[in-house]
Structure formats: C-alpha cells, structure tokens
Amino acid sequence: MSAVAIDDAAPARRFTLPSGRSYEKVDELVTAPLLEREAWSWRVWWIAFAASSALTVIFLVCIFMLFTKGIGIWGLNTSVVWGFDIADYVWWIGIGNAGTLISSMLLLMRQRWRASINRFAEAMTLFAAAIAGLFPIIHLGRSLYFYWLTPYPNTMTVWPQWRSALIWDFWAILSYLLFSLLFWYIGLIPDFATVRDRARNPRQRVIYGALALGWRGSARHWRVYQIYHVALACLGVPLVVSLHSVVGLDFAASLMPGWSEPIFPPYFVVGAMYSGFAMVVCLAALVRWGFRLQPVITAEHFDVMAKVMLAASIIMGLSYLTEWFNAWYAGEHAERSLIRFEFTGAYAPLFFAMLFCNVLAPQAFWIGAVRRSIAAVFGIAIIINIGMWLERILIIWNTLSHGYTPSMWRLYIPTIWDWLTTFGSLGFFVFLFLIFVRLIPTVSMHEVRDLVAEEIES
C-alpha cells in the first residue's frame, strides 16, 4: 500500500521544460537552424566541418594507400591477422545499433522521452552502419573482389558459401542499412511537411515539399503511418539483435580460445546497445548545446539514458565474469592461459583500462546527482566509448596473440595507418553528421509535439 502512496505523491516526470512546452516553440526550435540560417552563428559548425573534412580526406588517403600497397601497411602479422580494421568494424556497427534500439524498442515499450532524441540517434545509426560496412570490405586485402560476396552467375560457376559468417554479415548489414534508411525517412515525412509549411524561401519549400511527398497530416494517413511505424519497430528489434549476433558469431563460430563461446552473440548485442547509448548521449549533449534545444532535451533525458548505461555496464561486467569463470571451470589449458595472458600479458594495462571504462566508471551513475549532470554523463559516455573500443581490439589481440600454438604467439604493433584509418573514420562520421544537422530536422517534431500535448494535459 505504501508503494502506491509514494507513486501518487511523486510528481509526474516531465521531459520538456516549460519554455518548450508549446507546439510553436518546438517547431521554432527545430526548424530555425534550417530556415533562418542567417540568424545563426555557424562558426563552431564551420570549424568542426573543416576539421572533419580534413579527417575525411585522411580517411580517403588511408584507403588509397591500402588499395595501392595492401594490408601490410597495418600492423598485421601472420598470427594477428585481424587488427584495427575489425575492431573498428565491430565498434561502428555497435554504435549503429543504438538508433534502431532507441527508435524501436523504446517505441514498443512506450518510453515517450525517446521523441527528443530518436531522430539524430537514427541518423547516427545510418552513418555508423554505413561506415562499419566499409571495414569488412577494406580488410579483405583484395578488396576489388568484394562483390564475390553476392550471388551472381559467373564464369567460375561458384556461389557464395552460405555457411560462412562473412556472408551473413554482408546480408545482415545490407538489410539493416536499407531498413534503417527507410525507417528514418518514414519518421521524417511529417517533419519535412512542417519545414515546407514554415519555409518562406520558394526553393526550400519545393525541396522540403517534395521530400514530404505532399503530407497533409490527414487523420487517415496518420493511422496508416502509425500502424506501419509500429510494425517496422516490431521488425527492427529482431533485426538489430540478429545483426550484432552475427557479428558475435564472426568470432564465436571459430575455434580459437576466448572466441568460441556461446555467450558471444547476446554479449555483443548488449555491448552494442551500451556503446550506442554512450554515443547517443555524446551527440545529444552536443546537439542540445549547438542548437539551443535545452527546452526539449533535458537533464531528465540524460538521467534515463544514464540508467540504461548503468544497467548495460553491469551486464557487461557479468559477461566478463562469465567468460573468466567458464575458462577456469572448463579447465582447458589454452583458455586458462589466455585469461592469464589478459591479466598479466603485454596488453594487460589496456585490459585494466577497459575494465575501468566499461565496468567501474559507469557505477558513478548510481548517484542521482551524477546522472543529472550533463557534463558528468557526457564525460562518462566518452569513457564508455573508449572502453568499448578497447574491448573490441582486445578481443582480437588477446586471442590472436595467444592462440593454441606458443610458437605462433606474436604481438600487434599498430602503425600510423592503423591510427589514421580509425580517426579518419571518426572524422568521416562527424562530417556526415554535420551535414545532417544542417539540412534535416534534428529532432522529431511531430513526436515531440505529441509529448508536449501529453505534458500540457497531464
């Protein structure tokens, strides 16, 4: 009984500030950067754009070097045949999972606060998944033959090997990318209509009007739209789970110590959600600050996202413990030796840094004041992103550096090209994201209006 009394007494949670709690205010906040460009100072945007363009050029140079010289420019050797390429791939695809999770899973769970963040989270997903898709191609060595992944009649009369996790990856990423693109666009249609109706410049009106497909907000259309949107969300959740499970299977389907573990698919999915949320938090803080969206992206949002990250960090910790326990309990020499190597070998400092970033640092989210401090949540989210990247590189390095045959034990020494490719891909992501915020409504206006309506009426 007392629990009920507490619930009644607790004030309803609000995810918008009073200053943003009107439809007109929401529209104005979101469309102003698109329609009243002159009224905005774009200096920070231009600086970021110049920096990310430079990194994008570096990324292209890296790929050019790779194509002309081969994968020998990376720190790969005969034992550690995967390196930054695959770690970057897993990291990016993990980030690419969160947008769909936020849009789909939170939609199905009726978490209304997602309205403020789902649009740029979906954009993040799209760009991250597209960048992730590049890495398996460039890691092939003979990238020019990547189209052999597709089934097409050829003079060799052979077909793709359907039992291979690499083929699964190809189809899963391709389906996921196209799905995300359509899901994103569907959500944008009503918002393009709003931009069309607010635009005074005829050219903008035509472009946004065409993108809106002539949407007029008809109640009949809304009904079809909603049914379609929820059905897509129902499909999106299993798709996103399968996508990252397949990434886990890339490792788990092998016979290497530390990889051949049934826990990998679910553990990878949680890791993806974890790093994806961390990236969404970073972008939310930046978008909120850059476009003065404080009235619709509030400390409450950071509070709930911090809770999600806290839960994920605990699951990650449990997954690590399970791995160690299984290695010990199964008693296989190679597995036990690998765990010993993780804690005491050459990569041990990175391993402890990873444990700190992924398991220890997020425990600060138990404290309410930390969850409500945007700076603190932002800082910890950056730490989690670094930690998750370390996790991916260590999964690869530890196992490949310390396999079954001691005579094959080698370390991976990253080269300048490894680093430039990694940071170049990050720059390319920022480059795409900056273009997105300048051309497309960064917040889903119709969903925030719905949220506002609910908060006004409550």
Judged by the rule CB under 8 A, the positions of this chain that interact with other proteins are: 22-24, 27, 151, 157-163, 167-168, 171-172, 174-176, 178-179, 182-183, 186, 190, 193-194, 196-198, 209-210, 213-228, 231-232, 235, 238-239, 242-243, 246, 446-447, 449-450, 453, 457
By the 8 A CB rule, do 428 and 52 touch?
Answer: yes
Show the DSSP H helices in 262-347 as ranges.
264-290, 299-330, 333-344
Instruction: Give least dist CB 425 to other proteins, A.
Output: 24
Q: In the structure encoding, which two tokens stand for residue 107, read together?
A: 């939609």
Q: Which is nearer to other proteins, 183 or 397 (CB)?
A: 183
Phi and psi torsions of 413, nearest 5°: -110, 110
Q: Which is nearer to other proteins, 244 or 402 (CB)?
A: 244
Q: Which is nearer to other proteins, 133 or 190 (CB)?
A: 190
Instruction: Give least dist CB 182 to other proteins, A.
Output: 5
Exposed e or buried b per residue across 222-238, where buried means at least 16 C-beta atoms within 10 angstroms of its C-beta? eeebeeebeebbeebbe
Instruction: Give least dist CB 27 to other proteins, A.
Output: 5
Degrees to nearest 5, angle at CA 183 with 298 and 273: 55
Q: Which is nearer to other proteins, 80 or 451 (CB)?
A: 451
Instruction: Give least dist CB 197 to other proteins, A.
Output: 4
Q: Which is nearer to other proteins, 186 or 375 (CB)?
A: 186
DSSP assignment of 90-159 = HHHHHHHHHHHIIIIIHHHTT-GGGGGTHHHHHHHHHHHHHHHHHHHHHTTSSGGGGGGGS----TT---
As a whole number of angstroms, the longest Cα–Cα distance in the chain is: 75
Instruction: Give least dist CB 260 to other proteins, A.
Output: 16
| Helix, strand, or coil (residue 168) | helix
Q: Which is nearer to other proteins, 55 or 296 (CB)?
A: 296
Instruction: Give least dist CB 26 to other proteins, A.
Output: 9
